[in-house]
């Protein structure tokens, strides 16, 4: 019989959940000197944090519900993150077309004026009035739009942001364990004793439950306890369709039900359309767009754009679930009116704390992490203040960035510019890690399709916790969109072969 050596390691803090919040907390806590372990049941960012609309924004629509505090705090984070991650978080212009029967134009202008002034714009362009007649918008929008407004926000590859948090945390000592589910957590003999799906166990002084939509499921199943807040699970879906228009801007389409739909230029040849709000009643293991949601998004586009979309134009869909919490069980607001702010619920029994993270946004993950780790101060003597405002991410260190960029292009001049740009967008300075010694395309090894080469895949397998082709094609990159099914299968078989000969896949 095979002998297995199960281990029990001891940490200060165990974080459950490898989404943007869990990895953000891991980075913050490790930077403050805590010994941290993070367990994620699947791939990093495999749940909500790869299924968002990917906006780094204040949330214009939250102004309508009077959530000024959330909007201001998110706008401050937008500025901070754009400075910390230059080139990774990109500015994006949003066109808000106006037609009769919508929120009045003066109200939209007022809202956008407030939006531009509530937080710092930094290098972003301010709001401007736009006409849609006899210009580049005329072939795109239907005739019922004559004028509108254009404003700025930020855009990020959400799944890669999670990876950068995890990489930074790991670099300074955090133990990051994907594909490792926490199956039980109990207080025993002066510490938390945690059981993992691989048979290992962990001892820790404190826990953070950053399981996103699984927050209450974790409390019930792993802690065998009662949830501290009630949440409503609401699914949001996106569809990816062939490019709707040849403009750089995103559009915001106002819907008759009071909601808004974004259309965002995506992966060069596509447009991302979303999102929906549907009550999610099935398992959290299966989060998929329903036909009803797909039809809703297609109708939203077809109502306002000249280009007509059919069901067969939908090339990919993805969905995520928000755990919306309400302060009062009686208050049953429409999902789009419930606050997107977060709440941290602390249970400090036996001086062994667990913090449950409820809600949040990609945009505010850093602030959420600061607040979470601050709550641990009474339990760890000498735990200092957060350093995430000033410590740069190695891949996007702004110091000497221009010089590095120039050298990068010079060094790899024989490789196609489109490839160099994709790597820079996805990996920043880490591109050097897998390009070391590469002179021309033939040094990149086997090509799997769509500009994905062996070098990059080996790097992802050895340095970014990748185990399946899904991780490569839909989270570390979005090259799945550009490949045929035969190419995708080819990648999976190659990766399996490499894993069987694990000694060979070191860089």
- Residues that bind ligand FAD in the complex, under the rule CB under 6 A: 16-22, 39-42, 46-49, 51-55, 181-182, 210-214, 218, 222, 236, 275, 320-322, 357, 360-363
* Tokens representing residue 209 in the block: 């439950």
Segment 108-113 long-range contacts (CB within 8 Å, at least 24 positions apart): 108/149, 109/149, 111/60, 111/63, 111/64, 112/60, 112/149, 112/151
Exposed, middle or buried by CB within 10 Å (0-12, 13-18, 19+), for 285? exposed
Q: Closest approach of Cβ 158 to ligand FAD, in Å?
A: 7
In angstroms, what is the minimal distance from the CB of 4 to ligand FAD?
Answer: 20
Shortest distance, position 457 Cβ to ligand FAD, whole Å: 22
Q: What span, in angstroms and rounded, lies between the C-alpha atoms of 46 and 19? A: 7
Establish whether the linkage from the previous residue to 92 is cis, with ω within 30° of 0: no
Reading the block at residue 423, the tokens are: 């790597």
Residue 93 or 455: which CB sits closer to ligand FAD? 93
Q: Give the residue with the Cβ less far from ligand FAD, 205 or 366.
A: 366
Look at the alpha carbons of 49, 55, 61, 66 in this order and tell me if their dihedral is positive or negative: positive
Q: Which residues pair with 92 in a beta bridge?
A: 153
Q: Of 112 and 278, which has the nearer Cβ to ligand FAD?
A: 278
Residue with Cβ nearer ligand FAD (59 or 428)? 59
Q: In 3D, which of 333, 370, 356 has the Cα closest to residue 62?
A: 333
Least separation in angstroms between CB 78 and ligand FAD = 9
Q: Which is nearer to ligand FAD, 321 or 457 (CB)?
A: 321
Work out the number of other CB atoms within 10 angstroms of the CB of residue 424: 18
- CB of residue 19 to ligand FAD, shortest distance in Å: 2
Least distance between ligand FAD and beta carbon 83 (Å): 17
- 191-223 exposure pattern, b = at least 16 Cβ within 10 A, e = fewer: bbebbbeeebebbbbbbbbbbbbbbbbbbeebb
Q: Select 276 or 426, whichever has its Cβ closest to ligand FAD.
A: 276
Q: Using the minimum distance from each CB to ligand FAD, give the nearer residue, 356 or 458.
A: 356
Q: Residue 213 or residue 480: which is nearer to ligand FAD going by CB?
A: 213
Q: Report, in angstroms and rounded to the nearest whole number, the Rg of the chain calculated over CA atoms.
A: 23
CA-based nearest residue to 196, from 3, 1, 38? 38
- DSSP assignment of 37-98 equals EEE-SSSTT-SGGGSS--EES--HHHHHTT-HHHHHHHHHHHHHHHHHSBTTBEEEEEEEEE
Comparison of 362 and 424: residue with beta carbon closer to ligand FAD: 362
Residue 384, CA distances (Å) to 6, 30, 310 in order: 34, 11, 56
Burial of 478 (0-12, 13-18, 19+ CB in 10 A): buried
Taking the complex as a whole, how short is the minimal distance between the CB of residue 15 and ligand FAD, in angstroms?
9
Query: 176 or 472, CB closer to ligand FAD?
Result: 176
Torsion, CA 346, CA 347, CA 351, CA 354, rounded to 10: -70
Query: How far is it, in rounded angstroms, from Cα 16 to Cα 208?
Result: 6
Kindly compute the dihedral angle of the four CA atoms of residues 194, 344, 60, 63, in this order, to the nearest 10 degrees. 160
Measured CA to CA, the distance from residue 493 to residue 478 in angstroms comes to 19
* Least distance between ligand FAD and beta carbon 101 (Å): 26
Residues in a beta bridge with 237: 319
Q: How far is the CB of 36 from ligand FAD (least distance, A)?
A: 14
Q: Kindly state the smallest distance separating residue 465's Cβ from ligand FAD, in Å.
A: 13
Between CA 502 and CA 92 the distance in angstroms is: 42
Residue 342 beta carbon to ligand FAD: minimum distance, rounded to whole angstroms: 8
Task: State the minimum distance, in angstroms, from the CB of residue 260 to ligand FAD.
Answer: 12
| CB-nearer residue toward ligand FAD: 263 or 363 | 363
Q: Which of residues 455 and 475 has its CB atom nearest to ligand FAD in the complex?
A: 475
């Amino acid at each position: 019989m095979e002998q297995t050596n199960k281990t029990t390691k001891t940490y200060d803090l165990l974080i459950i959940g490898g989404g943007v919040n869990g990895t953000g907390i891991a980075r913050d806590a490790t930077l403050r000197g805590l010994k941290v372990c993070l367990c994620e049941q699947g791939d990093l960012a495999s749940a909500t944090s790869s299924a968002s609309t990917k906006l780094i924004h204040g949330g214009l629509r939250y102004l309508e519900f009077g959530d000024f505090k959330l909007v201001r705090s998110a706008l401050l984070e937008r500025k901070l993150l754009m400075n910390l991650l230059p080139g990774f978080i990109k500015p994006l212009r949003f066109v808000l077309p106006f037609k009769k029967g919508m929120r009045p134009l003066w109200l939209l202008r007022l809202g956008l004026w407030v939006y531009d002034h509530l937080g710092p714009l930094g290098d972003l362009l301010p709001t401007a009035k736009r006409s849609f007649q006899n210009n580049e918008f005329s072939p795109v929008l239907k005739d019922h739009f004559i004028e509108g407004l254009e404003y700025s926000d930020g855009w990020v590859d959400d799944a890669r942001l999670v990876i950068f948090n995890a990489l930074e945390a790991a670099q300074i000592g955090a133990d990051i364990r994907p594909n490792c589910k926490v199956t039980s957590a109990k207080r025993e003999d002066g510490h938390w004793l945690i059981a993992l799906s691989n048979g290992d166990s962990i001892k820790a002084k404190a826990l953070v439950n950053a399981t996103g939509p699984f927050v209450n499921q974790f409390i019930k199943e792993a802690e065998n306890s009662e949830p501290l807040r009630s949440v409503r699970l609401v699914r949001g879906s996106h569809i990816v369709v062939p490019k709707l228009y040849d403009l750089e801007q995103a559009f915001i389409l106002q819907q008759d039900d009071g909601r808004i739909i974004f259309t965002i230029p995506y992966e060069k040849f596509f447009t991302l359309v979303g999102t929906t709000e549907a009550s999610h009643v099935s398992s959290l293991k299966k989060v998929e767009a329903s036909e009803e949601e797909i039809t809703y998004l297609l109708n939203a586009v077809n109502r306002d754009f000249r280009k007509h979309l059919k069901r067969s134009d939908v090339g990919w869909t993805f969905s995520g679930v928000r755990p919306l919490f309400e302060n009062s069980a009686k208050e049953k607001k429409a999902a789009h009116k419930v606050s997107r702010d977060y709440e941290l619920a602390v249970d400090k029994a036996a001086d062994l704390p667990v913090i449950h993270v409820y809600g949040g946004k990609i945009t505010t993950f850093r602030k959420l992490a600061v607040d979470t780790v601050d709550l641990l101060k009474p339990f760890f003597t000498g735990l200092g203040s957060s350093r995430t405002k000033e410590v740069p991410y190695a891949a996007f260190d702004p110091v000497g960035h221009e010089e590095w960029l120039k050298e990068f292009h010079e060094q790899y001049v024989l490789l196609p510019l489109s490839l160099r740009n994709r790597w820079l967008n996805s990996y920043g300075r880490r591109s050097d890690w897998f390009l070391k010694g590469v002179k021309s395309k033939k040094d990149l090894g086997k090509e799997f399709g769509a500009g994905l080469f062996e070098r990059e895949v080996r790097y992802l397998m050895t340095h970014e916790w990748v185990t399946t082709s899904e991780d490569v094609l839909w989270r570390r990159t979005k090259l799945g969109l550009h490949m045929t099914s035969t190419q995708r299968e080819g990648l999976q078989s190659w990766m399996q072969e490499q894993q069987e000969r694990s000694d060979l896949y070191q860089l």
